[in-house]
Amino acid sequence: MQQRKLGNSGLEVSAIGLGCMGLSFGFGPAVDKQEGIALIRAAVERGVTFFDTAEIYGPFTNEELVGEALSPFRKQVVIATKFGFKIDPNTGKQSGLDSRPAHIKEVVEGSLKRLRTDSIDLLYQHRVDPEVPIEDVAGAVKELIQQGKVKHFGLSEAGVKTIRRAHAVQPVAALQSEHSLFWREPEIEVLPTLEELGIGFVPFSPLGKGFLTGKIDENTTFDSSDFRNIVPRFTPEARKANLAIVDLLRTIAQEKKVTPAQIAIAWLLAHKPWIVPIPGTTKLHRLEENLGAATVELSSHDLREIENAVSKITIQGARYPEHLQKMVGR
């Protein structure tokens, strides 16, 4: 597996990471713990060195899973986790945002235990908290870095003003936000800002929450606990309309003798050398398919063709329900 550096931070990771959320949370029932451990370790065996989790996934259970799976390989992998939500310790329910410095420090102590490590490689603020100045957040992480409990600071779904303000206090190693052929907003302001500041980019949902694999259509039903049930972009009508983008990927994939998912990930990799997508999966054959995208070459001609074709397609449906949309781009 090729390696990439996340901006100017010096943080080097595999060109494709593994988003671990779906093993515990978000896309239906959690996988059996041993199956989850086996999948994460299979990724390590195949050269993946970058693993993404968060306190809120579960809550807590995903960090525990990642910590147990990676403990034998701790020195050869990079673990990213996130803080920023208020979680009721009794019910495990999330009740709003909390990025107060004292809370960040508490969260990190819990994450270190669950991840079975003495240092978090990359610590993201999961969502920008409008109640806490970003300078205070960056300052708290800076202290944790000075104490050796954290190595690098990241932001997730932040807007460009916030990125600049945070970066002035503590250099931001990476921004994690959704980006794919299904959601291209970061290309307008965010990516140019990251390039200017030397910050790496970690696109989550590089396969459009599974849609760009070509395995989902208007008749697909999701488990009752699957987050996609409340996403406007995943209503049956929107899915039917949005299959145009999957058809385009299928056409290109057939020419290249690869899969639509591999084209979607290769498209992200071809943009900049400091972009590291983190597709998630619960299945070994999908993991292997996703990692295969690292060897797919897209020329500037291919990229222009994709751009021309995609510009004629209007994606239907918002990417988040309104209450979640309010929490991004701040």
CATH number at 181 reads 3.20.20.100
Classify residue 95: in a domain, yes or no.
yes
Tens-place pLDDT, residues 196-254 = 999 999 999 999 999 999 999 999 999 999 999 999 999 999 999 999 999 999 999 99
Select from 172, 183, 165 the least CA-distant residue to 150: 172
Classify residue 129: in a domain, yes or no.
yes
Using 50, 70 and 90 to split pLDDT, how confident is the model at 163?
very high
Classify residue 310: in a domain, yes or no.
no
Q: Is 57 a catalytic residue?
A: yes
Mean pLDDT, to the nearest integer, of 304-328? Answer: 95
Residue 130 φ/ψ, nearest 5 degrees: -65, -15
Give the domain range for residue 139: 3-209+272-296
Task: Identify whether the C-beta of residue 299 lies closer than 8 Å to the C-beta of residue 305.
Answer: no
Beta bridge partners of 69: none
Classify residue 69: in a domain, yes or no.
yes
Using 50, 70 and 90 to split pLDDT, how confident is the model at 91?
confident
Q: Does residue 34 surpass a pLDDT of 90?
A: yes
Catalytic member of 25, 51, 57, 204: 57
Token digits of residue 304:
């222009």
Distance in angstroms (rounded) separating the CA atoms of residues 169 and 84? 18
Percentage with pLDDT > 90 across the chain: 98
Mean pLDDT, to the nearest integer, of 146-174? Answer: 98
Count: domains in the chain? 1
Task: Identify whether the C-beta of residue 15 lies closer than 8 Å to the C-beta of residue 202.
Answer: no
Distance in angstroms (rounded) separating the CA atoms of residues 154 and 123? 6
Half-sphere exposure of residue 283: CA atoms within 13 angstroms, side-chain side = 6
Sign of CA dihedral 35, 40, 43, 47: negative
Classify residue 16: in a domain, yes or no.
yes
Q: Alpha helix locations (H) across the chain?
A: 33-45, 61-70, 101-114, 134-146, 160-169, 190-197, 236-256, 260-271, 284-291, 300-310, 322-325
Classify residue 318: in a domain, yes or no.
no
Q: Does residue 89 surpass a pLDDT of 90?
A: no
Mean pLDDT, to the nearest integer, of 298-320? Answer: 95
Classify residue 321: in a domain, yes or no.
no
Classify residue 36: in a domain, yes or no.
yes
